[in-house]
Amino acid sequence: MKYTTLPNTNIKVSELCLGSMTWGNQNTEAEGHAQLDYALDQGINFIDTAELYPVPATAETSGRTSKIIGTWLRKTGNRDKVVLASKIAGPGDYTAHIRKTGFSPNAIKEAIDLELKRLQTDYIDLYQLHWPERDTNRFGVRNYEHDSNWKDNFNEILHSLDNAIKEGKIRNIGVSNENSWGTMRYLEESKKHDLPKVITIQNAYSMLTRTFETDLAEVALREGVGLLAYSPMAFGVLSGKYIKGKAAANARLKLFPRFARYSGKQAADATRAYLKIAEDHGLSLAQMSLAFVTQQPFVTSTIIGATNLAQLKENIGSINIKLSDEVLNQINEQHSIMPNPAP
């Protein structure tokens, strides 16, 4: 395994982070524990969860994923061997079953306390805002529409998180599905008022979704905010299993076709082109896709997910692959022909 540190800390994390959002829905508790055991054995020490998980989110399943991690921590006593990241869900219809109070001080306190209980731990290493409280573009939405009713509360949010840090409940903070303006506003408030600094941003990034490069990459590199890249395989599309017709019956896009971000014709056409590049160089498309993300200078860790151990083994194996300039050039040439087919 290869390691780096969370920006502005001395916390060592693996360059691959184990994602968990299928546990409690597509995966059982036993399967989640098996993935955790295998990942730790392979050197992965970074685990990401959220109060919302598993996805799709429902009132019945909310928090189940973190409970599975909690029972594993209790069973194994491995808390000191892992770095835990979690998230408070942003407001919206999708999360109304959790709470309707956004990122208010009481909401943040409640969310952290409940998550600590589910995880069966006293502290969370990295606590993230799952998406902005204000109504803005996220999850690949285009055509910005201005929310004139939203009141700026960046300072209040940072004060609430600062209180949790001082209480020892969380150690560091990050954002997720955020844009450049929001990220810079958090950084501005932290500098002006000596408040905790956002050290990571968890956004979608893959060969099919490279919009992070347009402006957030500069923010990340100049301000020391590391990208935790989620969906690096575009919900499994970049394994090639869908275009090859080899997807299992329990594959995510078969079970949940409404998650259509990576399912369009352009995404399929681009995936075929990337598959050819991989095959021409004797690589699996999955490992090429993950290696491409991990090699980016603004990426701190690549979040991988799997529904079985065979997938997880292949994904973890990508850490040993360094893509040549020739491969990277061909990927970039294809990207210039069909940029961001699944933004």
Catalytic residue list: 53
What are the beta bridge partners of residue 83?
46
Amino acid at 318: S
Decide if 97 contacts 59 (C-beta within 8 A).
yes
Cα angle 17, 22, 25 (rounded to 5 degrees) comes to: 160
Decide if 177 contacts 200 (C-beta within 8 A).
no
CA 109 – CA 103 distance, rounded (Å): 9
CA 274 – CA 132 distance, rounded (Å): 32
Long-range Cβ contacts of 330-333 (<8 Å, 24+ apart): 330/277, 331/207, 331/274, 331/277, 331/292
- Start-to-end CA span in the chain (Å): 30
Six token digits for residue 239:
């394994």
Six token digits for residue 65:
């994923």
Cα angle 201, 261, 281 (rounded to 5 degrees) comes to: 80
DSSP H helices, 44-169, are 64-76, 105-119, 154-166
